[in-house]
């Protein structure tokens, strides 16, 4: 009896391609130590691109495998493609950063790939066990990536905090899964759904606590208040490309899991959970924005602002209609690209150091006009000004909320997004309005910025603008992928 | 036959002690051990449920939890080693470079 | 086919070419591309204007593509030209073109020449999108875009700290207004299920109860947005500070075009606004109050651009007053004439500043008319126009507003009186500006005086064209009562705006009487300005001189002047400077807008305590959250 | 039989509390190992013999040895700095955990508590197939995907341990 057939593997083709790429990179690093670091990066990118092509081929295939626990539906393909794109961007942003900071590990790219593979399993599986393992693959890869600058105390500390709190939340997740398993007798989402649809099943304390614990643990992964405390510390301690990757891809994966498990899988008793999500959404937006306002480090500000953006997405989660879910997808994509871009600017050295505080941004307009312009585009999109993806994303979310009559939630969201102007604008002001002086002894880089990074950043900015001017393509994709969920 | 609710109570108590350990202990390795205690509490409840429902899924799940726990322990302990090298302490209160 | 998209496409192309290649291709390239882009847009606007006049219902619509469509909600990228946007198109591209040409001379010596023109082109693009868009969403794109460009251009001299502050302020103030617009758009979407202007205007009367709460709230929010963009109480403070930008920018953005966007929006939705009498009243009150307040502040400013800035605020208040009393046509007419003469005045002041090597203090000018004859004459034309001297453009539009404020059922004698007083002040401070700058004795320092010269032709020709428009532009809208020409404006806008029911068609005699009164007031104010400013320095210096030389003066004259000074001028000046400007304008309103940020900071410092870097506090908060959630779902 | 369950439950709780209160981390670790043994005994009583074996071999045997090893490596004489000291936030921690525990426990006492439908493997069936054989079968059929995927996790852990903890390059 063959326990794995070829058809089982079809939905896993992108994952297999990535694993292959990971091994190639690992072996190249091992047996050809002289090989250029660029080679490793290019190999990784090639792996991502081939996987992306495979994803596109899988679109509309409706392939499933392994007893129906793995599906390649529109939802998972869209999110997986997003992880791959962010993966490519991260590699582009990493090359010069690794050189600048003496991170000479080929394993860096391997871990990036495995993190993406983990996310893909999280997104495409219908079995809580596989989702859990995917989550752990992603998390453990991220712990290591965060701590990869092992001689830097901040990096160590960020990794430690991330790991301990991550493991702590894993405990809650597992406890939740076990209680849900006890209440329903299964760990497969379709079976859980069936079991919970029986009359009275939702009054079962086991199910209620189980779902609540799962919400708590997933809330940790997507960093909603009050489970967000790790975000600023980890994001500011991690190497900047890794921060970009975490804020974009890991958060998107968290939301994909959130939608898959909680919103379409488990029938939540409407009022109770809506009120809960409502409170979480409002808290998350507000705390994120207020704290971002207080920061002097741009990286940390962006970290808090990523909390705030999770809050906007939570608004759509509260609404929960198909239109709202497709706005979750759109916003996740838009935020992933603009967030990666914004963090990406911070990877490039300026006056000989990696910029961190607002003051470090002085002089960009004169010495790095191109980066200053790109950063402004990202900031404007994060603010949500028209003609950027951020605007359309917010519009979609608030429009979906309004259609369901969530007026107050929308008003709070709008107020929050008005508040965010204060700190995003400060970045633009520092970029353009402050004259930087070259510090003594600092070397002015000859080239404006490394080619790989510039390519990635220009690409990200183009996507941001494209999503603002021609959003229809992605909107339609999102809507159709949501329809595959139900 | 052991009543399932008693197994669940035991697992809840162990879980709570684990949570408490994470928040109280100042030695980072002990904090980590408390997390292992939480995972064990989860394992216990899995076994209890599996037995009550005559199902094997819960038992299978445990193996994976153990593997994950092992993987987390390996990575976690190496991170602790690394941070000890730069900071020469295991006191969790002193790891506060990143704040506000 | 009408090809509306070409109009914004030209400036956009200009922006892209200048922004991305201007640095490499050099100055000549930029100098040709930027004005040409706007020039072509103007030509196309002219073509469209006449097409629109010929078209059925005076409206051309062009749908480019579906911007976004989800469920029942669909927004197209669609442009429309109708009476309102057609007029705005001509103003924007026409005045815009002149200012581009002028900028060639004015900005010639500046660094970042290409950047300036790229932003200027981009501004024109967004402004065109604002007026051409057929839905709230597209208008909002333009709305935010012009704000952004205004911000970029105010901060153009980014080395100057005050410029950086000013542009930050402009942005924040505008965001407060934007919040209003967004809230209104939200409510409109909920109510109408669409964001298309035409549908909203057409269905307003059936969907909304006249005078109801909903329509009042919607329109109040919209008006809040308008106060931000068009610098009305309480959000006007940013505009005077915005004068930190280059002078052509002040002329284009902060006088002629962008600041009238709020008026555009109100006029565009006239059918919605007339359903909310409360809002209309509010608009009239705010407009009148702003007109008066800003004019009284302008009386004492010594910075030439600040006088013009407060004057702009005041004139915008006038226009809002017009809209508020239901005189939409008169309001938009004043938008047009104001675009001519205020652009002219700003450009003229730019010419002065240019000649004076960026000296803006009028106390250091004087007697410039010999050195800058063209600038002097054109600015004089502009001043005569704004002061409402008969048969100059401002006379017609302003009198139309004064009359409507008096006679409209939504208006009243009080509104008229405020507008009337304001008109007098306007005349006074404008002639004061002219006298301080161009007449009297020269207070220019010797170094600057050596280099004084008239601006090059590239700057003076736009001035002359604008002067011609300022002088004759009023004949498009001659009031009925004068009756020597048909009222072009009313014919043009026939059936476009919502009608406010006319209760008493005021008598022709009354209208003539009020007209004469306002002209008389303007002339009296002129002569006052002449008396105090045409020869010596301002009143303060005059007073000081007189105190030293009391014995030389006749007792009688001294007494009158002193009384005037002590009772009227000085308290007025103190009040204007310290209470109105320093306290309300610079402190209270500023603080109010910064308040949300400061409150948030306060909350933040509390929250920061929890984020103390210790892992166990994080675990504690995590558990606290878990406890609350469990408690919530179990209870 | 059931008496032994309560006995082991009691011991495991005491030892778990030991993890919490011992000043010396090595004592805590040993106490934790004891807890694991007790749990293994309880697993046996719950007919999960193989889990019990793994618990002892892998958990107590391998993972905890790793902990002890690192503890010894990094041990400091001064254990007082790790002693349990109560302050406001730690008091709060105790209170919160207490509430959390009570919430969960009351829910478990709830009469509406229900479990999932009975599955396919009652004790007799397990004994008929053989516990280990059954687990093997399931791992290679129904759970083959997680079984394969978890190897990626192990690979990641190995790579991570190597690059994070390897000695500094001079």
Q: Tell me which residue of B19, A38, B68 sits closest to C619, measured CA to CA.
A: B19
Angle at B71 between CA B65 and CA B74, to 5 degrees: 140
- A-chain CB neighbours of D118 within 8 Å are 185
Distance CA C378, CA C341 (A): 10
Between chains, do C611 and B100 touch, taking CB under 8 Å as contact? Answer: yes
Q: If you count them, how many residues does chain B have?
A: 100
Between chains, do A144 and D159 touch, taking CB under 8 Å as contact? Answer: yes
**φ, ψ (nearest 5 deg) of residue D111:** -65, -20
Which residue in this structure is represented by tokens 């004087």? C366
Segments forming the whole domain that contains residue A177: 6-483
- A-chain CB neighbours of C629 within 8 Å are 212, 215-216, 276
Element (H, E) at A399: helix A389-403
Higher-confidence residue of D15 and A269: namely D15
Distance CA A238, CA A486 (A): 38
C620 to chain D, any CB pair closer than 8 A? The answer is yes
Of B35, B79, B98, the CB nearest to A168: B35
D17 to chain A, any CB pair closer than 8 A? The answer is no
Of B22, B23, B99, the CB nearest to C613: B99
- C-chain CB neighbours of B97 within 8 Å are 613
C157, pLDDT greater than 60:
yes
B56 to chain C, any CB pair closer than 8 A? The answer is no
Between chains, do A156 and B82 touch, taking CB under 8 Å as contact? Answer: yes
In terms of C-beta density within 10 A (0-12 exposed, 13-18 middle, 19 or more buried), how is residue D151 classed? exposed
Q: How would residue C158 be classed by pLDDT, with cut points 50, 70 and 90?
A: low
Strand partners, C324: none
How many C-beta atoms surround the C-beta of residue D58 within 10 A? 17
Between chains, do C623 and D93 touch, taking CB under 8 Å as contact? Answer: yes
Q: How would residue A117 be classed by pLDDT, with cut points 50, 70 and 90?
A: very high
Between chains, do D89 and C624 touch, taking CB under 8 Å as contact? Answer: no
User: In this predicted structure, what is the pLDDT of residue C210?
Assistant: 82
Measured in angstroms, the CA of C263 and the nearest CA of chain A are apart by 21
How many C-beta atoms surround the C-beta of residue A138 within 10 A? 29
User: In this predicted structure, what is the pLDDT of residue C539?
Assistant: 57
Between chains, do C614 and B95 touch, taking CB under 8 Å as contact? Answer: yes
Mean pLDDT of all residues in A221-244: 93
Axis-axis angle for helices A407-433, C589-610 (nearest 10): 100
C618 to chain A, any CB pair closer than 8 A? The answer is yes
* Residue A68 placed within a domain: yes
Question: Quick one: closest CA in B to D28, which residue?
Answer: B30
The three-class DSSP label of residue C455 is coil
**What is the separation, in whole angstroms, between the first and last Cα of chain A?**
33
Rg of chain B's alpha carbons, rounded to an integer?
17
Between chains, do B23 and C612 touch, taking CB under 8 Å as contact? Answer: no
Axis-axis angle for helices C328-355, C261-268 (nearest 10): 170
C298, pLDDT greater than 60:
yes
Distance CA C269, CA C259 (A): 17
Axis-axis angle for helices A322-345, A472-483 (nearest 10): 130
Question: Quick one: closest CA in D to B51, which residue?
Answer: D46
D170 to chain A, any CB pair closer than 8 A? The answer is no
In sequence order, what are the residues at sequence separation of 6 or more whose Cβ sits closer than 8 angstroms to the Cβ of residue C532? C432, C538, C539, C542
Please check whether residue A187 is in contact with residue B61, taking contact to mean a CB–CB distance below 8 angstroms.
yes
Tokens at B22, concatenated: 């994470």
D103 to chain C, any CB pair closer than 8 A? The answer is yes
Of B22, B24, B96, the CB nearest to C614: B96
Of A4, A66, A182, the CB nearest to D115: A182
Between chains, do B53 and A170 touch, taking CB under 8 Å as contact? Answer: no
A444, pLDDT greater than 60:
no
Measured in angstroms, the CA of D115 and the nearest CA of chain A are apart by 5
Q: How would residue C121 be classed by pLDDT, with cut points 50, 70 and 90?
A: very high
Tokens at C200, concatenated: 């909203």
Rg of chain A's alpha carbons, rounded to an integer?
22
Mean pLDDT of all residues in C555-577: 54
Question: Quick one: closest CA in A to C615, which residue?
Answer: A161
D111 to chain A, any CB pair closer than 8 A? The answer is no
C95, pLDDT greater than 90:
yes
Between chains, do C630 and D97 touch, taking CB under 8 Å as contact? Answer: no
Of B23, B97, B98, the CB nearest to C616: B23
User: In this predicted structure, what is the pLDDT of residue A124?
Assistant: 92
- Name residues 57-76 of chain B within 8 A of A (Cβ): 57-58, 60-61, 64-65, 68, 71-72, 75-76
**Helix, strand, coil percentages for chain B (3-state, nearest 5):** 80, 0, 15
Question: Quick one: closest CA in C to D91, which residue?
Answer: C620
Question: How many alpha carbons fall within 13 Å on the CB side of residue A338?
Answer: 32
Distance CA C504, CA A251 (A): 66
Please check whether residue D82 is in contact with residue B27, taking contact to mean a CB–CB distance below 8 angstroms.
yes
* Residue A469 placed within a domain: yes
C239, pLDDT greater than 80:
yes
Pairing outcome for strands A64-65 and A70-71: antiparallel
Structurally, what CATH architecture does the domain formed by B26-93 represent? Orthogonal Bundle (1.10)
Of B22, B95, B98, the CB nearest to C619: B22
- DSSP conformation class of D23: S
Torsion of CA C88, C91, C92, C98, to 10 degrees: 170
In terms of C-beta density within 10 A (0-12 exposed, 13-18 middle, 19 or more buried), how is residue A68 classed? exposed
Which residue in this structure is represented by tokens 């306007």? C426
Of A105, A117, A203, the CB nearest to D112: A203
| Chain B interface disruption, residue of C613, C618, C623, C634, most B CBs within 10 A | C613
How many C-beta atoms surround the C-beta of residue A10 within 10 A? 17
Between chains, do C623 and D100 touch, taking CB under 8 Å as contact? Answer: yes
Between chains, do C615 and B98 touch, taking CB under 8 Å as contact? Answer: no
Distance CA C16, CA C176 (A): 30
Percentage above 70 pLDDT, chain A: 94
Count helices and strands (H / E) in chain B: 3, 0
Tokens at C626, concatenated: 């878990």
Between chains, do C634 and A209 touch, taking CB under 8 Å as contact? Answer: yes
- B-chain CB neighbours of D29 within 8 Å are 29-30, 33
- DSSP conformation class of C536: S
C405, pLDDT greater than 70:
yes
C113, pLDDT greater than 50:
yes
Torsion of CA C278, C280, C284, C289, to 10 degrees: 50
Q: What is the DSSP string of A68-101?
A: TTEE--HHHHHHHHHHHHHHHHHHHHHHHHHHHT
- B-chain CB neighbours of A156 within 8 Å are 79, 82-83, 86-87
- What tens digit of pLDDT does each residue of A61-81 get? 888 888 888 989 889 999 999
- DSSP conformation class of C538: -
Strand partners, C68: C75
Of C70, C603, C630, the CB nearest to A290: C603
Distance CA C151, CA C169 (A): 9
Mean pLDDT of all residues in C154-170: 71
User: In this predicted structure, what is the pLDDT of residue C546?
Assistant: 55
C32, pLDDT greater than 70:
yes
User: In this predicted structure, what is the pLDDT of residue C498?
Assistant: 82
Between chains, do D99 and C627 touch, taking CB under 8 Å as contact? Answer: yes
Q: Tell me which residue of C451, C434, C143 sits closest to C268, measured CA to CA.
A: C143
Q: Where are the domains of chain C?
A: 540-610
Question: Quick one: closest CA in A to C195, which residue?
Answer: A399
Domains, chain D, with CATH or none: 1-81 (1.20.120.1200), 123-170 (no CATH)
Measured in angstroms, the CA of C383 and the nearest CA of chain A are apart by 35
The region of weakest confidence among A461-465, B91-95, C307-311, C539-543 is: C539-543
Q: What is the DSSP string of C333-355?
A: HHHHHHHHHHHHHHHHHHHHHHH
Which residue in this structure is represented by tokens 């005059």? C542
* Residue A1 placed within a domain: no
Element (H, E) at C60: strand C60-70
The region of weakest confidence among A195-209, A451-465, C134-148 is: A195-209
Question: Quick one: closest CA in A to C151, which residue?
Answer: A429
Average pLDDT across chain D, whole number: 87
Please check whether residue A72 is in contact with residue A478, taking contact to mean a CB–CB distance below 8 angstroms.
no
- What tens digit of pLDDT does each residue of A149-184 get? 888 889 999 999 999 999 999 999 999 999 999 999
C568, pLDDT greater than 90:
no
A446, pLDDT greater than 60:
no
Tokens at A395, concatenated: 């519009």
Between chains, do C625 and A216 touch, taking CB under 8 Å as contact? Answer: yes
Mean pLDDT of all residues in A35-42: 81
D63 to chain B, any CB pair closer than 8 A? The answer is yes
Question: Quick one: closest CA in A to B63, which residue?
Answer: A129
- DSSP conformation class of C588: I
Between chains, do C70 and A326 touch, taking CB under 8 Å as contact? Answer: yes
Q: How far is CA A83 from CA A89, A223, A242, A325, A365, in A?
A: 10, 18, 13, 18, 32
How many C-beta atoms surround the C-beta of residue D154 within 10 A? 16
* Residue A435 placed within a domain: yes
């Amino acid at each position: 009896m063959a326990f794995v057939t070829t058809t089982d593997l079809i939905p896993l083709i992108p994952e297999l391609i990535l694993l292959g790429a990971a091994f190639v990179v690992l072996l190249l690093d091992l047996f050809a130590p002289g090989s250029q670091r660029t080679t490793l990066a290019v190999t990784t990118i090639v792996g991502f691109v081939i996987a992306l092509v495979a994803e596109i081929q899988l679109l509309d295939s409706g392939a499933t495998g392994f007893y129906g626990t793995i599906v390649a539906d529109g939802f998972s393909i869209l999110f997986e493609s997003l992880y791959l794109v962010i993966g490519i961007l991260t590699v582009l942003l990493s090359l010069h950063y690794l050189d600048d900071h003496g991170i000479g590990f080929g394993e860096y790219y391997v871990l990036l790939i495995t993190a993406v593979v983990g996310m893909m399993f999280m997104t495409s599986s219908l079995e809580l066990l596989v989702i859990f393992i995917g989550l752990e693959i992603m998390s453990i890869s991220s712990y290591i990536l965060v701590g990869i600058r092992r001689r830097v105390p901040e990096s160590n500390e960020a990794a430690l905090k991330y790991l301990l709190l991550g493991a702590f939340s894993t405990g809650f997740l597992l406890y939740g899964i076990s209680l849900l398993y006890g209440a329903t007798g299964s760990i497969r989402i379709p079976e859980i759904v069936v079991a919970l649809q029986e009359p009275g099943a939702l009054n079962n304390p086991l199910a209620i606590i189980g779902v609540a614990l799962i919400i708590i643990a997933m809330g940790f992964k997507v960093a909603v208040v009050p489970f967000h405390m790790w975000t600023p510390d980890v994001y500011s301690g991690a190497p900047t490309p890794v921060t970009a990757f975490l804020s974009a891809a890991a958060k998107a994966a968290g939301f994909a899991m959130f939608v898959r498990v909680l919103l379409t899988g488990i029938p939540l008793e409407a009022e109770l959970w809506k009120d809960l999500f409502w409170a979480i959404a409002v808290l998350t937006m507000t705390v994120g924005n207020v704290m971002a306002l207080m920061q002097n480090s741009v990286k940390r500000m962006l970290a808090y602002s990523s909390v705030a953006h999770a809050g906007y997405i939570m608004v759509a989660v509260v609404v929960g209609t198909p239109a709202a879910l497709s706005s979750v997808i759109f916003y996740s994509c838009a935020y992933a690209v603009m967030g990666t871009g914004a963090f990406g600017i911070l990877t490039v050295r300026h006056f000989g150091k990696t910029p961190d505080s607002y003051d470090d941004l002085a002089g960009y307009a004169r010495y790095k006009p191109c980066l200053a312009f790109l950063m402004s585009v990202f900031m404007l999109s994060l603010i949500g000004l028209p003609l950027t993806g951020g605007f359309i994303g917010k519009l979609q979310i608030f429009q979906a909320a309004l259609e369901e009559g969530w007026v107050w939630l929308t008003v709070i969201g709008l107020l929050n997004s008005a508040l965010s102007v204060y700190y995003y604008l400060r970045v633009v002001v520092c970029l353009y309005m402050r004259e930087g002086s070259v510090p003594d002894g600092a070397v002015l880089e000859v080239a404006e910025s490394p080619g790989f990074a510039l390519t990635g950043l220009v690409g990200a900015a183009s996507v941001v603008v494209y999503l603002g001017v021609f959003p229809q393509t992605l909107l339609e994709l999102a809507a159709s992928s949501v329809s595959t969920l139900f | 036959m052991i009543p399932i609710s008693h197994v669940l109570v035991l697992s809840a108590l162990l879980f709570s002690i684990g949570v408490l350990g994470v928040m109280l202990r100042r030695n980072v390795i002990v904090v980590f051990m408390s997390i292992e205690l939480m995972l064990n509490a989860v394992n216990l409840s899995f076994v209890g449920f599996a037995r009550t429902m005559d199902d094997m899924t819960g038992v299978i799940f445990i193996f994976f939890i153990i593997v994950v726990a092992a993987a987390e322990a390996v990575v976690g302990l190496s991170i602790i080693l690394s941070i000890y090298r730069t900071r020469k302490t295991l006191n969790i209160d002193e790891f506060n470079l990143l704040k506000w | 086919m009408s090809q509306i998209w070409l109009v914004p496409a030209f400036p956009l192309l200009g922006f892209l070419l200048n922004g991305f290649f201007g640095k490499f291709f050099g100055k000549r390239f930029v100098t040709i591309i930027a004005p040409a882009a706007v020039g072509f847009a103007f030509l196309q606007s002219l073509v469209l204007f006449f097409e629109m006049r010929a078209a059925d219902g005076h409206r051309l619509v062009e749908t480019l593509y579906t911007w976004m469509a989800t469920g029942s909600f669909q927004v197209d990228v669609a442009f429309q030209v109708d009476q309102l946007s057609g007029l705005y198109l001509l103003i924007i591209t026409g005045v815009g073109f002149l200012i581009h040409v002028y900028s060639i001379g004015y900005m010639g010596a500046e660094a970042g020449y290409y950047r300036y023109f790229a932003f200027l082109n981009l501004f024109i693009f967004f402004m065109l999108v604002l007026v051409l868009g057929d839905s709230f969403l597209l208008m909002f794109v333009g709305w935010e875009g012009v704000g952004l460009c205004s911000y970029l251009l105010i901060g153009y001299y980014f080395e100057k700290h005050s410029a950086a502050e000013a542009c930050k302020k402009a942005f924040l103030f505008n965001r407060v207004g934007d919040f209003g617009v967004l809230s209104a758009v939200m409510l409109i979407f909920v109510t109408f299920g669409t964001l298309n202007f035409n549908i909203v205007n057409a269905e307003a009367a059936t969907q909304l109860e006249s005078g109801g709460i909903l329509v009042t709230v919607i329109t109040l929010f919209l008006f809040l947005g308008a106060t931000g963009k068009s610098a009305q109480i309480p959000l006007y403070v940013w505009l005077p500070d915005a004068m930190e930008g280059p002078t052509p920018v002040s002329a284009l953005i902060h006088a002629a075009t962008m600041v009238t966007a709020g008026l555009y929006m109100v006029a565009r939705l006239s059918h919605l606004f007339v359903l909310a009498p409360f809002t209309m009243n509010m608009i009239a009150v705010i407009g009148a109050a702003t007109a008066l307040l800003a004019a009284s502040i302008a009386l004492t400013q010594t910075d030439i651009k600040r006088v013009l800035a407060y004057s702009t605020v005041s004139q915008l208040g006038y226009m809002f007053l017009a809209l508020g009393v239901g005189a939409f046509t008169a309001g938009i007419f004043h938008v047009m004439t104001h675009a001519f003469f205020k652009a002219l005045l700003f450009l003229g002041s730019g010419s002065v500043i240019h000649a004076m090597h960026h000296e803006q203090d009028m106390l250091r000018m004087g007697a410039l008319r010999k050195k800058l004859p063209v600038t002097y004459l054109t600015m004089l034309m502009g001043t005569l126009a704004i002061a409402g001297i008969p048969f100059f453009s401002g006379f017609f539009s302003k009198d139309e507003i004064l009359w409507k404020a008096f006679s409209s059922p939504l208006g009243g004698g009080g509104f008229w009186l405020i507008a009337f007083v304001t008109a007098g002040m306007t005349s006074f401070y404008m002639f004061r500006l002219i006298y301080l700058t161009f007449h009297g004795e020269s207070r220019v320092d010797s170094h600057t005086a050596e280099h004084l010269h008239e601006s090059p032709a590239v700057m003076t020709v736009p001035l002359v064209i604008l002067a011609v428009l300022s002088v004759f532009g009023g004949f498009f809208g001659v009031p009925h009562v004068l009756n020597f020409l048909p009222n072009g404006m009313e014919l043009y806008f026939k059936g476009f705006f919502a009608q406010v029911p006319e209760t008493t068609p005021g008598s022709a005699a009354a209208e003539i009487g009020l007209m004469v009164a306002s002209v008389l007031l303007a002339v009296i104010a002129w002569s006052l300005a002449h008396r105090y400013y045409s020869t010596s320095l301002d009143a303060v210096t005059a007073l000081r001189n007189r105190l030293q030389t009391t014995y030389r003066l006749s007792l009688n004259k001294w007494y009158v002047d002193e009384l005037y000074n002590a009772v009227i001028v000085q308290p007025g000046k103190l009040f204007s400077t310290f209470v109105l400007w320093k306290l309300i304008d610079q402190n209270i309103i500023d603080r109010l807008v910064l308040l949300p940020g400061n409150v948030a900071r306060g909350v933040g410092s509390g929250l920061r305590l929890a984020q103390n870097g210790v892992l166990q506090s994080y675990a504690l908060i995590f558990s606290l959250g878990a406890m609350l959630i469990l408690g919530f779902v179990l209870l | 039989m059931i008496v032994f369950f309560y006995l082991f439950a009691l011991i495991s709780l005491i030892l778990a509390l030991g993890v919490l209160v011992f000043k010396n981390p090595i004592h805590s670790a040993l106490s934790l190992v004891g807890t694991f043994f007790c749990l293994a005994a309880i697993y046996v009583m719950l007919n999960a013999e193989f889990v019990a074996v793994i618990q002892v071999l892998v958990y107590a045997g391998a993972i905890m040895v790793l902990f002890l090893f690192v503890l010894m490596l990094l041990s400091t004489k001064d254990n007082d700095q790790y002693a349990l000291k109560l302050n406001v936030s730690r008091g709060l921690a105790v209170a919160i955990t207490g509430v959390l525990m009570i919430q969960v426990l009351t829910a478990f006492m709830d009469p509406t508590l229900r479990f999932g439908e009975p599955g396919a493997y009652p004790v007799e069936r397990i004994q008929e197939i053989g516990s280990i054989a059954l687990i093997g079968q399931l791992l290679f059929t129904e759970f083959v995907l997680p079984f394969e995927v978890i190897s990626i996790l192990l690979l990641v852990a190995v790579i991570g341990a190597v690059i994070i903890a390897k000695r500094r390059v001079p």
